[in-house]
Structure 1
């Protein structure tokens, strides 16, 4: 199973990715925060630094781009592949209002007909190189039922890999992922599928592997998929014919009447920011202890001091990190408030020392490698 580090704006910068890879590893691909492409074909200097190969040595990095114009995507795709990248990821999942208002990110999902035309133009233009384009999507903008039509669109094109976050746009990151819709999308996909959403612990990861790393039983009553979604030409009365035939080289009906739908990858987001050792645990390594965490935290502070210069910016950046990292400790409620409310870097340091002195890393067994 491939393990990916999700793009998180303002957090997973190239500086953070370098440090995480050095201290913890356990990640097969790091995705950059989305790169916005402007109509006259340029990107911000900040984004140029994110994709500079010199800033991504020693790790597999995938640039993620934000575009709703085929010309914009084709331009940035060619720029990135010329730099040596063998994968470019299209963001169709960002729920931010400033992004969706422009019809980008998950905002593009509102117009499936235009999305289909967009893909047709992109894949026609790029030819064989288009096999290096992957997509990250939500399951709809207003309603999860939109995913059925979106799946039909995605299945028309040779997408490298489809990462599915099973929430709709208006949920942002609240509520729970819609796993019934995810299952249907998994079956409908003609390309490898990566799961993303609410994987906070090793047990969460194992649960995803148990459910989707092996097989999904068709003959259940718990909102599992309709076999008709396998292929528009394959109806239930053709089930026996399907048993011996691969579908798109990924799924087939086995003798027990199950579809062997294997997800290719799992993308970690908030969970791995909270516990930077999560990927390593999944790969069979140790869970971090407090000493290792403290060393990593200090390295983060020093890195930001070196590159951000202004102590106020460093202070704000670390408070943002602690919003997530505090979740790796037991009983932090009263201590994390002091970190987030700190007015200066010295106040912040005192609050951090108090938390680390009084709270322990959440216990949990070390991982045993999980593979299917």
Structure 2
């Protein structure tokens, strides 16, 4: 599924039985041979259910969950990676958390070096990431605040030989970041407009115009950061309730604001 792109589904769960059912369905029905476990989402609505980064507060239950999942996934020939925060309240928690991860054959450990309580505030802690990079038995991927080529180079320079770097919200802000890292052109108004139009078209096809507008407004929370003097136009985008009003506001933005 999703060929030719190498897409890895991510699962958010704290129930091993449910998780295993999803893994098997993804493998048997859609052909995915790798999944990622989300142990990093800091959203309070997720954490209060002891999921995402909230699961890190219960290391014994986490250990049992991982044991069940890896036994089942191994039998089915499915690789499992983990995306994680480095604790709930303190980075000190990560010592035990990493000990648990090291008991299992993770295909990759993606580390966002903030604790759950940070949400997306404060700065990523490079020292705790270095601990993960040095002590993890699995290949380590860095995640957190990669929004520019300079951010990427800062990580790859400090952690020479790092296996991978993951862009999250930074990629939504700047869809050209991967191309620029690889020596391509920086983001232009034309490229962002092309990206916007393609996403909006697909959203409308999948979920209808009304729901697509809500999704596009979520994207604009990040994409608007590329523009200078765009407050007035951003307000019009957020207020738009009909497709025609939304498209008019977007046209005004691109016509009057430079990247």
The answer to whether TM tops 0.5 is: yes
1:87 and 2:34 are equivalent in the alignment: yes
1:245-297 deviations in whole A, cap 9, x for unaligned?
A: xxxxxxxxxxxxxxxxx321111111110111111212222223222222232
1:149 and 2:47 are equivalent in the alignment: no
Corresponding residue for 1:291? 190
Which of 210, 223, 226 aligns to 1:328? It is 226
- Matched position secondary structure for 1:320: helix
What is the CA distance between 1:313 and its match in structure 2? Answer: 2.1
Bigger share in helix: 2
- Matched position secondary structure for 1:322: helix
Change (3 A) 1:184 1:72: same
1:111-139 deviations in whole A, cap 9, x for unaligned?
A: 11111122223333444657711000000
TM-score, structure 2 normalization? 0.91
Which of 245, 264, 269 aligns to 2:168? It is 269
- Matched position secondary structure for 1:72: helix
What is the CA distance between 1:91 and its match in structure 2? Answer: 0.7
- Matched position secondary structure for 1:281: helix
- Which shifted more, 165-174 or 331-340? 331-340
Q: How do residues 1-372 of structure 1 correspond to structure 2 at under 5 angstroms? A: 53=1, 56-82=2-28, 83-127=30-74, 132-212=79-159, 214=160, 262-309=161-208, 311-361=209-259
What RMSD over aligned residues (CA atoms) do the two structures have, in Å? 1.9
> Which sections of structure 1, spanning at least 5 residues, go unmatched?
1-52, 215-261, 362-372
Which structure's relative contact order is higher, taking Cα pairs within 8 Å and 6+ residues apart?
Answer: 1
What is the CA distance between 1:324 and its match in structure 2? Answer: 1.2
Change (3 A) 1:281 1:158: same
Paired with 1:62 and 1:357, the residues of 2 have a C-alpha distance of 37
Paired with 2:68 and 2:199, the residues of 1 have a C-alpha distance of 43
Paired with 2:47 and 2:254, the residues of 1 have a C-alpha distance of 39
Report the structure number with the largest CA radius of gyration.
1
8 Å Cα contact 1:280-1:286 kept in structure 2: yes
TM-score, structure 1 normalization? 0.65
8 Å Cα contact 1:130-1:158 kept in structure 2: no
Paired with 1:160 and 1:131, the residues of 2 have a C-alpha distance of 10
- Matched position secondary structure for 2:37: strand
Corresponding residue for 1:33? none
Paired with 1:126 and 1:357, the residues of 2 have a C-alpha distance of 51
